[in-house]
Amino acid sequence: ATDVEPVFGNLKFNKGRGRFMLRGKEKVAIETGLLVIAHNLAKMVR
């Protein structure tokens, strides 16, 4: 099992992403996907 809380905590606190820029479920889902992709790429670089 994977714990997703640290990912969202990192995005909110360390990356300054407390709120979504877009509105609507579909747009928020896309924005979340892009943020998670960026998080995973940053982990790969480390």
Residue 11 has pLDDT above 90, yes or no: no
Q: What pLDDT was estimated at residue 5?
A: 84
DSSP category for residue 14: I
Using 50, 70 and 90 to split pLDDT, how confident is the model at 24? very high
| Alpha carbon distance 28, 35 (integer Å) | 10
Using 50, 70 and 90 to split pLDDT, how confident is the model at 1? low
pTM: 0.70
Q: What pLDDT was estimated at residue 15?
A: 78
Using 50, 70 and 90 to split pLDDT, how confident is the model at 27? very high
Q: Shortest CA distance to 10 belongs to which of 21, 2, 19, 18?
A: 18
Range list of β-strands (E), 1-46 = none
| Alpha carbon distance 21, 28 (integer Å) | 8
DSSP category for residue 34: H
Given a contact cutoff of 8 angstroms between Cβ atoms, the answer to whether 28 and 20 are in contact is: yes
